[in-house]
Amino acid sequence: MPLSREQQAEIAVARGQTRETRRATVPALEEILYEAIPVLDHGFIRVVDYMGDDAAIVQAARVSYGRGTKRVSEDQGLINYLMRHRHTTPFEMCEIKYHVKLPIFVARQWIRHRTANVNEYSARYSILDNEFYVPAPDKLATQATTNRQGRGAVIAGAAAQRVLDLLRGDAERAYAGYAELLNEDAAGRPRDPSWPGLARELARMNLSLNFYTQWYWKIDLYNLLHFLALRADPHAQYEIRAYAEAMLDTVKRWVPLAYEAFLEYRMNAATISATGLQVIRRMLAGERVDQPSSGLSAREWRELMALINADAAS
Amino acid sequence: MPLSREQQAEIAVARGQTRETRRATVPALEEILYEAIPVLDHGFIRVVDYMGDDAAIVQAARVSYGRGTKRVSEDQGLINYLMRHRHTTPFEMCEIKYHVKLPIFVARQWIRHRTANVNEYSARYSILDNEFYVPAPDKLATQATTNRQGRGAVIAGAAAQRVLDLLRGDAERAYAGYAELLNEDAAGRPRDPSWPGLARELARMNLSLNFYTQWYWKIDLYNLLHFLALRADPHAQYEIRAYAEAMLDTVKRWVPLAYEAFLEYRMNAATISATGLQVIRRMLAGERVDQPSSGLSAREWRELMALINADAAS
Amino acid sequence: MPLSREQQAEIAVARGQTRETRRATVPALEEILYEAIPVLDHGFIRVVDYMGDDAAIVQAARVSYGRGTKRVSEDQGLINYLMRHRHTTPFEMCEIKYHVKLPIFVARQWIRHRTANVNEYSARYSILDNEFYVPAPDKLATQATTNRQGRGAVIAGAAAQRVLDLLRGDAERAYAGYAELLNEDAAGRPRDPSWPGLARELARMNLSLNFYTQWYWKIDLYNLLHFLALRADPHAQYEIRAYAEAMLDTVKRWVPLAYEAFLEYRMNAATISATGLQVIRRMLAGERVDQPSSGLSAREWRELMALINADAAS
Amino acid sequence: MPLSREQQAEIAVARGQTRETRRATVPALEEILYEAIPVLDHGFIRVVDYMGDDAAIVQAARVSYGRGTKRVSEDQGLINYLMRHRHTTPFEMCEIKYHVKLPIFVARQWIRHRTANVNEYSARYSILDNEFYVPAPDKLATQATTNRQGRGAVIAGAAAQRVLDLLRGDAERAYAGYAELLNEDAAGRPRDPSWPGLARELARMNLSLNFYTQWYWKIDLYNLLHFLALRADPHAQYEIRAYAEAMLDTVKRWVPLAYEAFLEYRMNAATISATGLQVIRRMLAGERVDQPSSGLSAREWRELMALINADAAS
């Protein structure tokens, strides 16, 4: 259970209260506000605040580009135009705040995105819980052989059990060491009165990277979409992708027009190189092109063929 | 009148509507939401959206530092502690969006703060109105003689009239030239059908820096306070300070505890150099210190004496 | 002449000195170091410092991705890979500093890129020279009719003369007003002793947006390329594009491998939407597709056809 | 030994070469360029590139504030002025790049500074070495009792041995688990051919936070000084402070005038609150002030007294 009883009670209270506001509201997002959406074995994301909606994007664009029309169909057209032409600033006018619980190795990838505000649980001040990530059996995979980054075949059977036992065993032991170093019981008294216990800021180094941490993470919509484009991508590590996909669902509730534009012009779009465009032009003109005559490397050729192959369209 | 009739109508509509939300709200800020607060002769600021309140700062700090208490007196104490020790990230958890109308030369200073989101009215797409800033008579000043940056005595009488006439005359002429270059009437038809008119992106270069522009400007509370510390400071140019002071009033409504902490630990605080601290220690120990024996330059000495002089306390 | 005699002398001195360093150097860039490259009628760019080279990009990537090979052909392959997959951080390891002289309306567009360091000439402290931009006759253009942003046909003959006379006349008058307000001669004494003169920070507002300012501008290679992709684009206003193109030449000297990758995978590449990709797949499979059956708007269809038309390849 | 034999050889080659440049150089920094400066038990910092020097700060300030003088004594005065008045942009004109090897828990604190460029060794692609941090015996400390963040008394004797044994034992076991999961020998072949081995991106989660990682870290001087002000502070955790102090020495070599100004106006300066300033004024006017009459909290009073006590001056 990813949430403490106390957290669950706080969420129930927060969800039970409504107030009046003159600000724009988004009922579909209000519906899930504060709720924990489970991710991985002990993690979650929760939307805890937001500012703006699709109309705020349109309004910001109208400030820049002058007066426009206001019908919904035209809002979608304008948002599509902005996304297509990478006019980024109107999307920066919306802001969202998440509460996220995630394994430390995922947090390390995540934090590389520098354009967000973060408040992380501090193990200098506080004691981490005994919660660590162990992959579900279908998520255990070998190293990819064609790609130095990434996963190959799923590991099954006894080998899988061996992996899980090892991960669990080492994490349990790491936590036991951490607890022994801290030497504090739940009431903050020494568990073993014969020695003093180590400072929290030092003891934490005994924990492994699959332990869970949590943070508040606040970001504008433009930078959130950039994050999701990278982290919901099939090349992203599964564990961070799981978070990105849960967040995509919240974006769909929050700014449905921007979400559609994002799928069409970013997530499911592709950038084709100068030489790749030449290949397409030659093919459409009826020329037979193969890799050696394409000017593309073998790898780029494979990727381009995968992209434009009619079968991929089905 | 800084607002167009159309803008006034939009504001009235926006202010007339309320919706239900589960988010934190701040009634004192809701009260003035969307309202234009006049600044200078044709400018304004308007709060058009916000996220978070004092409690959001406390909540973010509690994530980092672990569980705290929740009584208001202790919230103030915690916020003071955060401000005093420059723990900046909890203040980043609040966000505010302004609509601002301001002279271009003020916009040029303002935009140097890079940590905000901006959508500015574009004179590539749209036509600027014939509105320019002329200082109020009591704001006309000579160049400071002691300080290469800044103002000296107020200019009065005939000299003041000469300045105002010159500024107004040149701005009127600049706008007349702009309008002639654009060659468009209100309906977008050529005013003078005998020639084509110049592209907007070129014609705008004829306007002077006191013409008004406008933008949406969104920023987190930490960076807003940093902006205000610099721009509400007596050393800031009066024209941008006028905006900063109007914004300070909105901060006071929005996050009163953070506002108090900001006054105590930033706006009305002072940073004293290593040598300046030595001077204070020596004085408190009963030593007579003068500038030559202080180790401070004449200017630093003057500044320190102004700061610690008992008379300044009255 | 964009450079003062004093600046020319400083440049000659700087270019005449060489020192020994253990850092990476780029001879092709050293060759033009400090030299002013003219842009527009009075502007310039100068490279005044740089850090890193193509090898620094490769080295940073090797830190992230582990050991690679070191032959030049493979450096190009690795840099292409990084550019193609938008691995941005290795390109951030190179840094360059420019000194730029540019019209204020160009500076206003430029400064919207927030990820650079800037020191601009301050008209609060100093007096601006009487130098303003007037477009070359072949750069005068009407407002585009198909596009609210942009230029249409070139204005020629008497109409052009009328534009140029108006721009020049108004700028001259603006500067005369500025000088009168300042009331300082070259030695800093009042030109007209009968009145005091206005503070510089106020007088500057009388200047128009085509006056020249200057700044030092420092940026990492990744963000520079992002800036250039937007500002060397045909949709950018001609005046900022002129600067971007001059800078592109300096990038070619500095990091030739990154420059080639940038042309292939960014400048001359194209992003095709999900629906656009479907259209290409259907066409390559032999289907006849027209705009109504394409799922694209008329405008998107036109853009896609322009992109993939075989004639565009010649 | 923190450096591999191969790294040592690369450093020797890099240090053995010099080239000619027209750029500013700093001989005192060139002297140690590329050299590894040891930090903690297996870590280091190395300066691997730099741009600019004290003169570049002065030059940038002169662009902003107009022409100044050029004698060294006046350069120090100008740099002091800039530091004192928090004119930050001239300091942004210098840039430095470090190669750092550091424990993961230190990297997690470090990365919170968002205004730098980072390329970190990736354990998705590569295998981490069996190197982990164990504190020196005099750095083992109990949890502070007066302060929830921080350390108390040093742990000695048998208790210290128990901590060290536990940390070492758990880290060794974590690495053994990691190696077993990877199932690769030095040549990349399976150590145990009977099973496939786990993907690197998953196996890494078994390592604990005291394992070493490394990165290239590039930052401008202003942001570096801000980082050092926070991380060389006595309140910072010892382990990151050790890095900050080693970097301070490199700053002293690189920009000695900025370094002196930094000590005087930042590191060894203090910010005193509005109420604290009142207390000082009252004391200097001869009034006897105690905590209850001061308006300060007990903690603020203690801190102020520690700061201004004459004994602290000795």
Give the separation between CA B255 and CA B53, rounded to whole angstroms: 6
Pairwise CB contact (< 8 Å): D269 & B269: no
Mean pLDDT along residues A260-270? 97
pLDDT tens readout for residues C215-260: 999 999 999 999 999 999 999 999 999 999 999 999 999 999 999 9
Residue A12 contacts residue A56 (beta carbons within 8 Å): no
Identify whether residues A170 and A94 lie together within a single domain: no
User: Residue D1 above 60 pLDDT?
Assistant: no
Q: Which residues of C touch A77 (CB under 8 A)?
A: 297
Q: At B150, is the pLDDT very low, low, confident or very high (cuts 50, 70, 90)?
A: confident
Query: What percentage of residues in chain C have a pLDDT greater than 70?
Result: 94
Model pLDDT for residues A123-138, shown as the tens digit of each residue = 888 899 999 999 999 9
H helices present in chain C, as ranges: 5-16, 27-30, 54-65, 72-84, 104-110, 157-182, 200-203, 221-231, 238-254, 256-262, 274-284, 291-294, 298-308
Residue D188: exposure state from Cβ atoms within 10 A (0-12, 13-18, ≥19): exposed
- Establish if B290 touches chain A: CB-CB under 8 angstroms: no
Q: Do A117 and A19 reside in the same domain of the chain? A: yes
Grouping H, G, I as helix, E, B as strand and the rest as coil, residue D44 is strand
B189: annotated active-site residue: no
Mean of pLDDT over chain A:
92
> Which pLDDT score is estimated for C188?
79
Q: Average pLDDT of D131-135?
A: 98
Catalytic pick from A46, A200, A231, A241?
A: A231
Whether C127 and C182 map to the same domain: the answer is no
Domain's final residue, options B209, B229, B256:
B209
- pLDDT at position A314 over 90: no
Q: How do residues B15-37 score in pLDDT, each as one tens digit?
A: 999 999 999 999 999 999 999 99
Chain C residues whose CB is inside 8 A of the A230 CB are 86
Total number of residues shown for chain A: 314
More confident site: B295 or D65: B295
* Coil, strand or helix at B71: coil
Query: What is the DSSP code (8-state) at residue B16?
Result: H
> Are C313 and A84 in contact (CB < 8 Å)?
no
Q: Which residues of C are catalytic?
A: 231
**Residues B167/C167, Cβ–Cβ less than 8 Å:** no
Q: What is the pLDDT of residues C8-28, one digit of tens each?
A: 998 999 999 999 999 999 999
pLDDT single digits (tens) D212-262:
999 999 999 999 999 999 999 999 999 999 999 999 999 999 999 999 999
Looking at the structure, do residues C5 and C148 belong to the same domain, yes or no? no
pTM of the model: 0.95
* Residue where a domain stops, chosen among A162, A188, A209: A209
| pLDDT for residue A188 | 79
Q: What per-residue confidence (pLDDT) applies to D312?
A: 47
What is the C-alpha to C-alpha distance for residues B157 and B153, in angstroms, rounded to an integer? 13
pLDDT band at C128 (very low <50, low <70, confident <90, very high): very high
Strands, sheet with B212-220, edge to edge from the N-terminal-most edge strand? B37-39, B43-51, B95-103, B212-220, B117-120
Of B231, B281, B299, B302, the catalytic one is B231
Judged by CB atoms within 8 Å, which residues 81-140 of B form the interface with D? 84, 86, 112
Bridge partners of B271, per DSSP, are: D271
B102 and B13 part of one domain: yes
Contacts of D113 in chain A (CB under 8 A): none
Work out the pLDDT band at B232, boundaries 50, 70, 90.
very high
Tell whether the model's pLDDT for residue D135 goes beyond 50.
yes
Separation in Å, CA of A160 to nearest CA in chain C: 27
Q: Distance of CA A221 to CAs A77, B224, C149, Å?
A: 18, 19, 25
B109 and B158, same structural domain? Answer: no
Q: What's the pLDDT at B7?
A: 85
Which strands sit side by side in the sheet containing A95-103, from one edge to the other?
Answer: A37-39, A43-51, A95-103, A212-220, A117-120
pLDDT digits (tens, 9 = 90+) for D254-278: 999 999 999 999 999 999 999 999 9
Number of Cβ atoms within 10 Å of the Cβ of D22: 20
Residues B192 and B91 in one domain: no
Closest residue in C to B210 (Cα–Cα): C205
**Alpha-carbon gap: A97 to the closest alpha carbon of chain B (Å):** 8
- pLDDT band (50, 70, 90) for residue D145: confident
Q: Do the Cβ atoms of C28 and C251 come closer than 8 Å?
A: no
Nearest to D222 by CA among D118, D119, D62, D113: D113
Query: How far apart, in whole angstroms, are the C-alpha atoms of residue C93 and residue B56?
Result: 37
How many Cβ atoms sit within 10 Å of the Cβ of residue A268? 13
CA C14, distance to chain mean position in Å, is 25
Nearest partner of B155 among B167, B135, B170, B137, judged by Cα = B137
Q: What residue type is A75 in one-letter code? A: D
Provide, as residue numbers in chain C, all residues whose Cβ is less than 8 Å from the Cβ of A149: 65
Mean pLDDT of C33-49: 97
Half-sphere exposure (Cβ direction) of C180: Cα atoms closer than 13 Å: 16
Same domain, residue pair B44 and B175: no
Residues B35 and B80 in one domain: yes
Reading the block at residue A302, the tokens are: 């494979």
Alpha-carbon distance A46 to nearest alpha carbon in chain C (angstroms): 29
Judged by CB atoms closer than 8 Å, whether chains meet at B17 and A22 is answered as yes
The radius of gyration of chain D's CA atoms, rounded to the nearest angstrom, is: 24
Last residue of a domain, one of B162, B190, B209: B209
Asked if D283 and D244 sit in the same domain, the reply is: no
**pLDDT tens by residue, B74-96:** 899 999 999 999 999 999 999 99
pLDDT at B283 over 80: yes
Are C197 and B170 an interchain contact pair (Cβ–Cβ within 8 Å)? no
Rounded CA separation D62/D41 (Å):
44
Region for D90 from its dihedrals, namely left if φ exceeds 0, alpha if ψ lies in -120 to 50, beta otherwise = alpha
The phi, psi pair for B241, rounded to 5°, reads -65, -35
| Cα–Cα dist A57/A259, whole Å | 12
**How far apart, in whole angstroms, are the C-alpha atoms of residue D37 and residue D171?**
25
The confidence score (pLDDT) of residue A73 equals 64
Cross-strand partners of B119: B216
Per-residue pLDDT tens for D37-63?
Answer: 999 999 999 999 999 999 999 999 988
Which amino acid, residue B58? Answer: V
Name the average pLDDT for chain D. 92
Does residue C313 surpass a pLDDT of 80?
no
Decide: C224 and C251 in contact? Cβ < 8 Å. Answer: yes
Q: What is the CA radius of gyration of chain B?
A: 24
- Structural domain tally of chain D? 3
- Asked if B21's CB is within 8 angstroms of A30's CB, the reply is yes
Q: What is the CATH number of the domain that holds B47?
A: 3.30.1360.170
C264 to chain A, any CB pair closer than 8 A? The answer is yes
Please tell me whether residues A51 and A90 are part of one structural domain. yes
Domain range for A166: 134-209
**Which of B:17-76 have CB within 8 Å of C?**
none
Chain segment C167-183, per-residue pLDDT in tens = 999 999 999 999 999 99
> Above pLDDT 70, what percent of chain B?
94
Cβ-Cβ contacts under 8 Å between A and D: the total is 156
Chain B residue with minimum CA distance to D273 = B269
Task: For residues A90 and C296, give the distance between their C-alpha atoms in angstroms, rounded to a whole number.
Answer: 23
What would the pLDDT profile of A25-40 be if each residue is shown by its tens digit?
999 999 999 999 999 9
Active site residues of D: 231
Query: Which SS3 state, helix, strand or coil, does residue D52 take?
Result: coil
Q: How far is CA B45 from CA B26, B36, B245, C185, in A?
A: 18, 6, 11, 39
Contacting residues for C195 by C-beta, under 8 A, at least 6 apart: B155, B159, B162, C183
pLDDT tens column, A150-209: 788 899 899 999 999 999 999 999 999 999 999 988 787 889 988 889 999 999 999 999
Asked if B214 contacts B121 with a C-beta cutoff of 8 angstroms, the reply is yes
Give B115: exposed, middle or buried? Use CB within 10 Å, 0-12, 13-18, 19+: middle
pLDDT confidence of residue B313: 40
Work out the number of other CB atoms within 10 angstroms of the CB of residue D310.
15
Token digits of residue C51: 């850090």
First to last CA, chain B: 40
Question: Do A115 and A138 belong to one domain?
Answer: no
Beta carbon pairs, C and D, within 8 Å: 146
User: So what's the pLDDT on residue A71?
Assistant: 55
